Amino acid sequence: MARNRILVVEDDEAISRIITKNLISTGYAAVPVYDGCKAAELVQMDADFDLALLDVMLPGMDGFALLAYMKHHGIPVIYLTAKSDIDSKLQGLRDGAEDYIVKPFEVLELLVRIEKVLERTGKMQQTLEIGDITINLMERSVRKNGAEILLKPMEFNLLVMLAKNKNIALSRERLLHGVWGVDYAGETRTVDVHVGQLRKKLGLTEKIKTISKMGYRLED
């Protein structure tokens, strides 16, 4: 299965490592670059990226100038920058960036925004894989070793949320809000019951880990 390929242009190596590590653990293919000019050269040779995360203040060429190269090759852009002034934000969005996120940011928020941009631009992959399990988002179907496994709607939605956040611990409250919605009046026990069904139906007892006093994590 082809993974969404994301270019990370960030000159702070520590921040770049955090971003790329989380992207890779979630199932994306991440390519880090630390210089604006080198990023421009890279996309001219290899424009096969589904998204670019750009800092604004970069050596060689700043993120605003770099945006033109990304647009030329049809690569959507999210800015990740410490420039929090409204003029910079408006410039980035008016020039054509899909989103503008000010540092510091929460990794989970970044992942959600990435997902939304990929969906909005039609670049989101249509299948997810967990070992021998394939999830088809368009068909809303799940197959294990090629055989279809029937899931209830909320079981499917929960599985997708876990699969899109592989190797990330998610609280019961976050799972409840993400799958059942913020207006759902039920208890977090609902999450436990549905996780139990997923483990049973798909043989995921070893892969869906219980995080004590918090929630669950789906591991590769």
CATH number of the structural domain spanning residue 112: 3.40.50.2300
Q: Is 46 helix (H, G, I), strand (E, B) or coil?
A: coil
Burial of 81 per CB tally in 10 Å (0-12, 13-18, 19+): buried
170-171 vs 215-218, strand pairing mode: antiparallel
How far apart, in Å, are the Cα atoms of 115 and each of 72, 124, 141, 162, 185?
Answer: 22, 7, 20, 14, 27
* Residue 135 and residue 108 share a domain: no
At 182, is the pLDDT very low, low, confident or very high (cuts 50, 70, 90)? low
* Residue 207 and residue 106 share a domain: no
Which of 63, 88, 120 marks a domain boundary? 120
What is the rounded CA–CA span in Å between residue 125 and residue 2? 8
What is the rounded CA–CA span in Å between residue 55 and residue 80? 5
Query: Picking from 15-29, 49-63, 71-85, 196-210, which range would have the lowest pLDDT averaged per residue?
Result: 15-29
Which of 88, 120, 152 marks a domain boundary? 120
* Residue 190 and residue 94 share a domain: no
User: Looking at the chain, how many residues does it have?
Assistant: 220
Q: Give the residue among 115, 87, 154, 79 at the shortest CA–CA distance from 4.
A: 115
Q: What is the pTM of this model?
A: 0.69
Number of neighbouring beta carbons within 10 Å of residue 152? 11
* Residue 137 and residue 100 share a domain: no
Which of 84, 104, 120 marks a domain boundary? 120
Residues 134-148: pLDDT tens digits? 999 888 999 999 999
* Residue 99 and residue 17 share a domain: yes
* Residue 115 and residue 9 share a domain: yes
* Residue 104 and residue 51 share a domain: yes
| pLDDT the model gives residue 2 | 53
What is the rounded CA–CA span in Å between residue 72 and residue 80? 20
Which whole number is the average pLDDT over 42-63? 94
Q: Give the residue among 148, 179, 147, 145 at the shortest CA–CA distance from 162.
A: 179
The count of structural domains within the chain is 2
- Domain range holding 161? 127-218
127-130 vs 170-171, strand pairing mode: unpaired
